[in-house]
Structure 1
Amino acid sequence: MVMDDRSVFFEVEALRADRSRPILSPASLEVHVRVIDHLAHGTGSNFIADEVLDTLAHGRVSTMAAIELSLAGWWRRLDGGYVIVDQELIAAMSHSPARRRFGAACRRLWKILNSETVIPL
């Protein structure tokens, strides 16, 4: 089952809110989420072949995202594709759709609680 665009958006926003991660472009984060979703519900591995990557995003978009994600250390280039290093997100997205939505909601709440608009007690 492929993630709907709304779920992808929530995951991308959760990744953008995580200050422990490098700052990446929204397009790269979207490719990252779509690839992990494909792997979690397809092969179960953490390797994405170049040919499959180009079916998940337009060639130019996937190429730029792959470069950005590799520079950030989230992906590693191997002959014919990429190894996805982000085991935390792979594990989180390997669960049921309801659990993924719950996880994304928790990450959004964490973002709000750690923003400068909330005063700790």
Structure 2
Amino acid sequence: MSRFPHASLRSDIGLVEAVAFSPDGRLLVAAGEMGIHVWDAARAWLGGQLPDEDGPFQSAVFSPDGRLLATNGEDGIQLWDPATRVRLATLRSKSSPAHSPAFSPDSSVLAVATGDEVLLIA
């Protein structure tokens, strides 16, 4: 908390729904109505927005090893490489919207809620 004593990071993504720090504390991600912003947490510097994403987004979560970022938006669950900001995959459920992504402690499995079931993706 000492990096941002009483700081306010502003963005133009509308209402912010979720924030997440990378496991190493280097990145801060904010997911909102109109996109996803990525900050360099050490310098409180806005590094940019994830490309081609308009939102709205309800969640953002890093894998414990920091190699993946999962976001939840209208298109389903998006998997990103946070270092390059490249989208790796979009996961959708045929039966109901996918939401609430969560990684296993070893980062090998992604769990996703889809209505009355939980999908496990390795």
Q: Same-fold call, TM > 0.5?
A: no
TM-score (norm 2): 0.24
Which has more helix, going by share of residues? Answer: 1
Structure possessing the higher relative contact order (Cα contacts under 8 Å, 6 or more residues apart): 1
Which has more strand, going by share of residues? Answer: 2
